[in-house]
Amino acid sequence: MQVNNSKPAKRASVRKVAFGILCTTSLLPLTAVAQPVEGIEEIIVTGTRVANRTATESLAPIDVLGAGDLEKQAFSDTNDILRSLVPSFNVSRNGISDGSTFVRPPTLRGLPPDQTLILVNGKRRHRSALVQLSGGALAAGAQAPDLSQIPAIAIKQVEVLRDGAAAQYGSDAIAGVMNFQLKDASEGGSATIQYGSTYEGDGDNAKFAANVGLPLGPNGFFNLSAEYSQGDPTNRGVQDPRAPAAKKDLAMNWGDPDAEATRVFINSGIDLTDTTSIFLFGNYGASKANGSFYYRPPTLDHAVNGPTMPVAGDPDGFRFAEWFPLGFTPRFYGDVKDASIVGGFKHELESGLIYSMSGSFGRSQIDYELKNTVNPSLGPASPREFYVGRLVQEEENFNVDLSYPVEIGWATPLNVAVGTEFRRELYEIGAGDTASYTVGPYASFIDFRTKLPAALPIGSNGYPGFRPEDSGEFKRDNIAFYADLEGDVTDSLTVGAAARYEDFDYFGSTFNWKVSGRYDFTDAFAVRGSVNTGFRAPTPGQSQTSSVQTFFPAGSSSPVARGTYPASSVVAQYFGAKPLSEEKSTNFAGGIVADLADINITIDYYNIKVKDRIALSGDFNPSAADRIRLAALGVPGANTLGAVNYFTNAFDTRTQGVDFVSNTTVAAGEGKVDLTAAVNYNKTKVTKRNSAVIDDTRKADLEKQLPKLRGNFTAQYTLDAFSILGRASYFSKFTDTANYAKTFGAEWVFDAEVSYDLYENINLAVGVQNMFDNYPDKVDALANGGYAVGQVYPDTSPMGYNGGMYYARVTVKF
C-alpha cells in the first residue's frame, strides 16, 4: 500500500539512529532484513542521508510500495504495475511506435521519462539504449532506463520520492526519484505461476517467477530472483480500408506485440565485522518482441508498388505488387539485452565516521530486424529480410562517500555527508546490413512506361538501416562533488541542505542546491517544504541519434518518410538547429502531513520550472527546392523525405500540481479493511518556445496529451487466510492533437482480486483487470466509414485499450 508521511507518536524516541550515508545516495543495510512487522514503520533511504529515517518523518513526499502491492497484479511489466499504484505515473501502450513498442517510456508528474532518476539499491540505474523517437509528445527525444527490466519478484520495496533532488543525486532527478530496493532475505523464498487472457480471447500471457534467499557464510546473504514471461499479441484494430477484399487477415496489429522475456537479479552482502560490510548485486535480462508496422497496400502508387521499373529481358517492367499482390506489412523485431553489476563496501570507524566506495557497470543493447519488407531502391534485387542495426548504452560509475555526525547542540547530531562520483557513458550505433541502407539504382530512374523521372525510397522500407557514416562510439565523462547536511534542530524542527557541482565533457559545469524543512506542530500535524534547482545533461545518444521512420500524418492514409537527425547534422543545421545544452530546473514544493482519527493524510503542492527542455522538434516539411539542396549537400534519400525533425532545446515549461494521499485501516467484524486513496492533479504550460521549431500542435500535445487528474482508490479486506482487493483508477480527459486532433473523455477502470491460503504456504488468487471491459473513446472515422489505417483506439491512451483481462495465480512460499 502507499505509505503516507504522517507524524508518528513520540518522534524523538523513534530517532535513536546511527547516522549513515548510502553509496551514491545512501548506504543500504547489507545484512538480511526481516519482513516488516505490523506497526513498525518502513525505513526509507531515498531523499535523505540519515540512516533509519522513516517515511513518516521525511522532509518530502515519499510513496512506499511493498512487495505485496507489486505482486497483487496481473501485469508482468513493472511499468503497468506502477501505473496502477502511483497516480502521477503514466505509461501508454505504443502499439506501432518503432522502438517505443519494445521500451515503453513512462512519465512522472507530467515530465519526460529521463527527468526521473531511477535507482536500484540506491545506485544509479543505467539508461536504455533506446532514444525515444515516438511514444507521445512528452517522450519524444528522451532516453531513460527501461523499468520493464526490473521484475516484481525481485523487489522488496519501491520508494517514490516526489520532489526535485538533482542537488542530492545528480542529473535527471528533476521530477523525482524512484528507488527499487531488492529482496535481501538469507533464507526462504517463493515461486509463482500466473496465467491470463483478455476478454476478447487474445493476448494469452504466462509468467513464471521465483525468489530464493540463501546464507552467504554466517553473516551474509545471497538472494536470487528470476522471471520468465510470454505474451501473445492483442489486436483492437479493424481492417485497413485500403486493403483489397481478398485480404482476410487484418493488415496491422493495433495492440500488444508478441513478446517473450527472461530476467534474473541477484543481491548479496556480507558483514565482515561489526563495522565493515561488502555488497554485490546485478542483473541480466533478455527479451524479444515483434510488432507490425503500417500496411503498404498494392495500390500505393508513390511508395513501393507504383512506378514500373525497367528490368533486363522484361518488356513489361517490374512492380513490387508482383511479390505482394495483397499488399504487405513490415514486421519489426526487437532483441533487447540488459545487464549490470554493482559492488562496494562500507566501513565505520570508532569516531563515528562512515566511509564507502562502490563501482558499477551497466549495459543495454537493442538489435533491430525487419521482415516481410523490401528496399524499394534495389528493385527486384532487394531481399525481404534485413538486419537494421544495433544500439548500445554503457555506463560506468565510481563513488566515494563519507558521513559524520557532528554534535552542535541540536536535538540530534547534524549529519554531514560529502562525496564524489565519476561517471562515463558510451553510446554506440552499429550499422545494419548493406541492403538495409543501400541507395539502389531505382532511387532515381526513368519510368519504363511513362518515360518520366521516378524515384523509390531508400533502405529497408519501414525503418531504414543505420548507415556506417552514422555509426560509431560516442563517449562522455563527468565528475561530481556534493555536500549534504541534515538534522533535527529541535524535536519539532528538521532542516536539510544540499549542494552539488558537476563537470561534463562538452557541456561544461553546473552547480545545484536544495534546502528543505519540516515543522511538527503536534504529533498529528506537520508542514514541510523545499526549494531546489536541478539539471539534466543531454546524453550522448541524444547528441548522436540519426534515423528515418515511416509515419502517417493525421487524417492521411499515405505514409511519409520522417528523418530524425542530431542537432549537429547537416540536415538539422539546414533547418536552424543549434548545439544542445543542459536542461535547467527550479522546483518549489510545500505540503501538510496530518493524522486525523487514524486516517493518514498528506497534501503536497509542487511547481517545477524547466528551461531549455531537450526534445524532438516539430516536423519541418521540405519543399522540392529543399530536397534538391539537401541532396546537393550529400544527404542520402533527400528526394524522398516528407518530414524532418531534430533534437533541440527549444522551449520552457512550468508544471504545477497537487498530490493527495490518504490511508487508514478499519476493523470489519473479525477481519480488517485497508483503504488507500491517491490523487494527482498535474498541469503543464509551455511558457516560452521557438514557434518555428515547436509549433502550435506540438505545444498543445505537451500541455494536454496526459490527463490532468489521475486517481487510484484501493480497498483490501483480510480475514485470516482470505482476502479480497478492489481498485478503482480514474483518468480524466486528454487531447491528442498531432495524431487524432481529438479530445478523449474521462474513464474509470476497476480491478478486483480474490486470494486464499489453501495451506500454510500455498496461496491461490484469481482476478480481473478492467473488470467492466472499458475502452477509451474511439478515434474519428474517415468519410468512407473506415477508421484511419485500421486504427480504432488512440495509441496514447493512458489506460491502454486491450479491454478486460482475467488471470489466475498460484504462489508457493518456502
Query: What does the pLDDT read at residue 43?
Result: 61
- Give CA–CA dist 378/368, Å, rounded: 20
Query: What does the pLDDT read at residue 759?
Result: 87
Q: How confident is the model at residue 175 (pLDDT cuts 50, 70, 90)?
A: very high
Range 273-299 average pLDDT: 94
Query: What does the pLDDT read at residue 782?
Result: 62
Whether residue 52 is predicted with pLDDT greater than 60 in this model: the reply is no
Whether residue 494 is predicted with pLDDT greater than 80 in this model: the reply is yes
Range 522-547 average pLDDT: 92
Query: What does the pLDDT read at residue 625?
Result: 92
Q: Which of 727, 706, 708, 728 is nearest to 716 (CA)?
A: 727
Q: What is the 3-state secondary structure (H, E, C) of 488-529?
A: ECCCCEEEEEEEEEEEECCCEEEEEEEEEEEEEEECCEEEEE
Range 256-280 average pLDDT: 97
Q: Which of 460, 536, 444, 449 is nearest to 113 (CA)?
A: 536
Question: Higher confidence at residue 134 or residue 558?
Answer: 134
**204-231 residue pLDDT tens:** 999 999 999 999 999 999 999 999 999 9
Range 595-600 average pLDDT: 91
Query: What does the pLDDT read at residue 685?
Result: 97
Whether residue 392 is predicted with pLDDT greater than 50 in this model: the reply is yes
Q: How confident is the model at residue 26 (pLDDT cuts 50, 70, 90)?
A: very low
Whether residue 35 is predicted with pLDDT greater than 70 in this model: the reply is no
Query: What does the pLDDT read at residue 30?
Result: 29
Q: Work out whether strand 742-744 and strand 709-719 pair parallel, antiparallel, or are unpaired.
A: unpaired
Q: What is the mean pLDDT of the chain?
A: 88
Q: How confident is the model at residue 319 (pLDDT cuts 50, 70, 90)?
A: confident
Question: Higher confidence at residue 112 or residue 550?
Answer: 112
Q: How confident is the model at residue 27 (pLDDT cuts 50, 70, 90)?
A: very low
Q: Retrieve residue 365's grid coordinates.
A: 543493447
Whether residue 3 is predicted with pLDDT greater than 90 in this model: the reply is no
Whether residue 48 is predicted with pLDDT greater than 90 in this model: the reply is no
Question: Higher confidence at residue 60 or residue 808?
Answer: 808
Query: What does the pLDDT read at residue 639?
Result: 77
Question: Higher confidence at residue 637 or residue 44?
Answer: 637
SS3 call for 555: coil
| Main-chain phi, psi angles of 322, to 5 degrees | -70, -30
Residue 69 is given by DSSP the state H
Query: What does the pLDDT read at residue 92?
Result: 87
Query: What does the pLDDT read at residue 640?
Result: 75
Whether residue 312 is predicted with pLDDT greater than 50 in this model: the reply is yes
Whether residue 22 is predicted with pLDDT greater than 80 in this model: the reply is no
Q: How confident is the model at residue 63 (pLDDT cuts 50, 70, 90)?
A: confident
Q: Which of 20-34, 518-532, 536-550, 780-794 has the highest mean pLDDT?
A: 518-532
**433-467 residue pLDDT tens:** 999 999 888 888 888 788 888 878 889 998 999 98
Whether residue 307 is predicted with pLDDT greater than 80 in this model: the reply is no
Q: How confident is the model at residue 19 (pLDDT cuts 50, 70, 90)?
A: very low
Residue 59 is given by DSSP the state S
- Give CA–CA dist 199/221, Å, rounded: 43
What residue ranges in 669-798 does DSSP mark as E strands?
671-689, 709-719, 722-731, 734-736, 742-744, 747-759, 762-769
Range 776-780 average pLDDT: 93
Whether residue 278 is predicted with pLDDT greater than 70 in this model: the reply is yes
Contacts with 38 (C-beta within 8 Å, 6 or more apart), sequence order: none
Whether residue 355 is predicted with pLDDT greater than 80 in this model: the reply is yes
Query: What does the pLDDT read at residue 140?
Result: 87
| Position 80, amino acid | D
Query: What does the pLDDT read at residue 553?
Result: 62
Minimum mean pLDDT range among 94-98, 109-113, 385-389 = 94-98
**743-775 residue pLDDT tens:** 999 999 999 999 999 988 999 999 999 999 999
Query: What does the pLDDT read at residue 11?
Result: 36
Whether residue 18 is predicted with pLDDT greater than 80 in this model: the reply is no
**548-576 residue pLDDT tens:** 776 666 555 566 778 888 998 999 999 99
Whether residue 68 is predicted with pLDDT greater than 90 in this model: the reply is no
Query: What does the pLDDT read at residue 50?
Result: 63
Query: What does the pLDDT read at residue 574?
Result: 93
**668-725 residue pLDDT tens:** 999 999 999 999 999 999 999 988 888 899 899 999 999 999 999 999 999 999 999 9
Range 295-309 average pLDDT: 70
- Give CA–CA dist 420/408, Å, rounded: 25
| 8 A C-beta contact, residue 408 and residue 454 | no
Model pTM? Answer: 0.90
Query: What does the pLDDT read at residue 776?
Result: 96
Range 620-628 average pLDDT: 90
Whether residue 12 is predicted with pLDDT greater than 90 in this model: the reply is no
**397-434 residue pLDDT tens:** 999 999 999 999 999 999 999 999 999 999 999 999 99
Q: How confident is the model at residue 112 (pLDDT cuts 50, 70, 90)?
A: very high
Range 168-188 average pLDDT: 94
Range 362-372 average pLDDT: 97
Query: What does the pLDDT read at residue 784?
Result: 43
| 8 A C-beta contact, residue 67 and residue 180 | no
| Position 466, amino acid | F
Query: What does the pLDDT read at residue 13?
Result: 32
Contacts with 68 (C-beta within 8 Å, 6 or more apart), sequence order: none
Residue 593 is given by DSSP the state E
445-450: long-range contacts, CB 8 A cutoff, minimum separation 24: 445/307, 445/309, 445/310, 446/310, 447/307, 447/308, 447/309, 448/308, 448/309, 448/310, 448/317, 449/308, 449/317, 450/308
How far are the Cα atoms of 60, 379, 801 from residue 101, in angstroms, in the given order? 34, 30, 14
Whether residue 122 is predicted with pLDDT greater than 50 in this model: the reply is yes
| 8 A C-beta contact, residue 402 and residue 21 | yes
